[in-house]
Chains A and B, each alone.
Chain A
């Protein structure tokens, strides 16, 4: 049971990191990207590559993954500077498809559809992280770091710049804000922090393949942000917890027929989302209206 909970805890932390970092773009900057899983993947593949070919040092591997995630975030930043709203959503879907194709086909780096196996365990100052408890502490520390960075940025002048761009780009420009720089920074920052989740994920499973980085993952992360509360500090964490724990909680309901539990979960999920959007459109962590953030 403890092992199960620790496993759930690690996956929750990974998803929460992704939701918190996506929230910087969606919730604060108002850029609705559908390609966040690509940067999760870039982080994971880079971490695996560096760990298998150079060093398994957690710090070096994480920095390499963040660097790769940040550097390749121009894939999203470029269309974000050119198009907005539904046009950008479409463009980001294109980036997501491009990412999945590269993950599937670039066999030398990603192992193709088969993925990367036998990723070594991470080490920190020579100490090897190997037990489920240690991995949970690692994942929790990663989440805490990401939340700390996001919170301090969101509550400071950068957060105000992001919200200004989200609420009125033309007014932000008229007040002297370089909107292109602000958007690019938000995307680079969010993508490089998302790569931390990829690193933890790759190390924890010691195996990764493209299935974890598809559009389904991007949609799931977006749902976590929206359900929890876009543009709030803790909303995405609550959203991640809800979407991660709800299926597990449902599986403990003895009166649900085991053969139908998957379908019942989907029905409950769907209903919960519809009701939430009707009665709390701002998400679970909000005062209940769209205007509250």
Chain B
């Protein structure tokens, strides 16, 4: 497929001159914490992500939307170092992170959650959260008892605000789905990361749980955390997003105000699999 032929151009789009864009028209924001420029990844015959250029800005929730197989999770994997891009640059707080191993990228302040959560299932809730703070890989963590106490207090506080305090000693395996989601979020909360990449964090949550999730997220965003979310549920997308980035077949085909993107009939048609660009 020829990208230049199939890629939507801003001036040809009837409604989305502010939202539909090619990869060349995104000027890097001065405030952007993370800047992706021309990032591509191919798996055999599949172009999983194709020349994606996007900035993630502090205090803004950017939601990645798009049909299945659009490349959303691959983009996360590329940012976090789980996958190395074939081309393009990824700059975090002014420094390139391409080629760094995932654990180094995490230590630079980029946290992520997984769609399938990947909790430490045989550890207790408390241990899961504590483990998220213990990044040193040696036989013990430095800092002594003062740091240990500080961590214990942080774990207790985080479990309290995520509604998991009563389950602190329960193994992660024994939690309900919503509780597991909050445990995954709790690990991110204590990680101290400046950028959160959340893969479908709100899917399957009941309304009260969703409200709690939204409150926790907004509190952190207001503190200046940069957030990028993958989400399929359009109601959640509208409720959560400050900005929407629309991916299709690995290409970023729209990036802007949520309402403008979601009211674009062409994008909606793509999203629901009714047509392709």
Using a CB–CB cutoff of 8 Å, the interface residues on chain A facing chain B are: 153, 156-158, 160-161, 163-164, 166-168, 170-179, 181-182, 185, 189, 231, 291-293
List 20 other contacts, CB 8 Å, given A175-B135, A176-B107. Answer: A156-B139, A158-B138, A161-B131, A161-B137, A164-B131, A166-B122, A167-B118, A170-B114, A170-B118, A172-B120, A173-B101, A173-B103, A175-B131, A175-B132, A175-B187, A175-B191, A177-B134, A181-B138, A189-B139, A291-B171
Tell me, yes or no, whether B43 is within 8 Å of chain A by CB: no
Residue in B118, B122, B137, B187 whose beta carbon sits within 8 Å of that of A293 in the complex: B122
Q: Is the CB of A171 within 8 A of B103?
A: no
Contacts of B82 in A (CB 8 A): 170, 173-174
Given known pairs A178-B137, A291-B171, A291-B174, the reply for A173 and B102 (CB within 8 Å) is yes
Measured in the bound complex, the distance between the Cα atoms of B174 and A291 in whole Å is: 9
Taking CB as reference atom, which chain B residue is nearest A153? B139
Contacts of A175 in B (CB 8 A): 106, 111, 131-132, 135, 187, 191
A84: min CB distance to chain B, Å: 15
Residue in B120, B141, B174 whose beta carbon sits within 8 Å of that of A163 in the complex: B120
B133: min CB distance to chain A, Å: 9
**Per-position binary interface string of chain B over residues 62-102, scored 1 when its CB falls under 8 Å from any chain A CB and 0 otherwise:** 00000000000000000010100000000000000000011
> Which residues, 189 to 218 on B, are CB-close (under 8 Å) to A?
191
Contacts of B181 in A (CB 8 A): none
Chain B CB within 10 Å, residue with most, of A158, A175, A178, A291: A175
Tell me, yes or no, whether B268 is within 8 Å of chain A by CB: no
Taking CB as reference atom, which chain A residue is nearest B121? A167
Tell me, yes or no, whether B127 is within 8 Å of chain A by CB: yes
Q: How many A-B residue pairs have CB under 8 A?
A: 98
B70: min CB distance to chain A, Å: 21
Measured in the bound complex, the distance between the Cα atoms of B37 and A19 in whole Å is: 52
Tell me, yes or no, whether B36 is within 8 Å of chain A by CB: no
Measured in the bound complex, the distance between the Cα atoms of B111 and A174 in whole Å is: 7
- Tell me the count of chain B residues lying within 8 A, CB to CB, of chain A: 33
Q: Is the CB of B135 within 8 A of A291?
A: no
Measured in the bound complex, the distance between the Cα atoms of B121 and A231 in whole Å is: 13
14 residue pairs from A and B, CB less than 8 Å apart: A157-B140, A160-B134, A163-B123, A167-B123, A174-B112, A174-B114, A175-B135, A175-B187, A175-B191, A176-B135, A179-B103, A179-B137, A291-B173, A292-B171
Residue in B111, B122, B123, B136 whose beta carbon sits within 8 Å of that of A157 in the complex: B136
Residue in B120, B130, B134, B139 whose beta carbon sits within 8 Å of that of A168 in the complex: B120
Q: Is the CB of B135 within 8 A of A167?
A: no
Q: Is the CB of A167 within 8 A of B107?
A: no
> Which residues, 163 to 183 on B, are CB-close (under 8 Å) to A?
171, 173-174
Given known pairs A160-B131, A181-B137, the reply for A171 and B121 (CB within 8 Å) is no
Tell me, yes or no, whether B60 is within 8 Å of chain A by CB: no
Contacts of B111 in A (CB 8 A): 174-175
Measured in the bound complex, the distance between the Cα atoms of B216 and A79 in whole Å is: 42
Q: Is the CB of A185 within 8 A of B138?
A: yes
DSSP majority for the B interface?
A: loop
> Which residues, 125 to 163 on B, are CB-close (under 8 Å) to A?
127, 130-132, 134-141
Contacts of B139 in A (CB 8 A): 153, 156, 158, 185, 189
A81: min CB distance to chain B, Å: 12
Residue in A160, A164, A173 whose beta carbon sits within 8 Å of that of B106 in the complex: A173
Taking CB as reference atom, which chain A residue is nearest B192? A176
- Name the 5 nearest CB pairs between A and B, nearest first: A176-B135, A176-B106, A171-B118, A173-B102, A168-B118
Contacts of A189 in B (CB 8 A): 139
Q: Is the CB of A174 within 8 A of B102?
A: yes
Measured in the bound complex, the distance between the Cα atoms of B128 and A7 in whole Å is: 44
Given known pairs A174-B111, A175-B132, A178-B103, the reply for A160 and B123 (CB within 8 Å) is yes
Chain A CB within 10 Å, residue with most, of B130, B131, B135: B131
Taking CB as reference atom, which chain B residue is nearest A163? B123
B154: min CB distance to chain A, Å: 14
Contacts of B119 in A (CB 8 A): 167-168, 171
Measured in the bound complex, the distance between the Cα atoms of B77 and A170 in whole Å is: 10
B12: min CB distance to chain A, Å: 40
Given known pairs A161-B131, A291-B173, the reply for A176 and B103 (CB within 8 Å) is yes
Chain B CB within 10 Å, residue with most, of A153, A171, A173, A174: A174
Residue in B127, B140, B191 whose beta carbon sits within 8 Å of that of A158 in the complex: B140
Contacts of A177 in B (CB 8 A): 103, 134-135, 137
A5: min CB distance to chain B, Å: 37
Contacts of A166 in B (CB 8 A): 122
Contacts of A178 in B (CB 8 A): 101, 103, 137
B78: min CB distance to chain A, Å: 13
B238: min CB distance to chain A, Å: 28
B91: min CB distance to chain A, Å: 20
Measured in the bound complex, the distance between the Cα atoms of B173 and A287 in whole Å is: 14
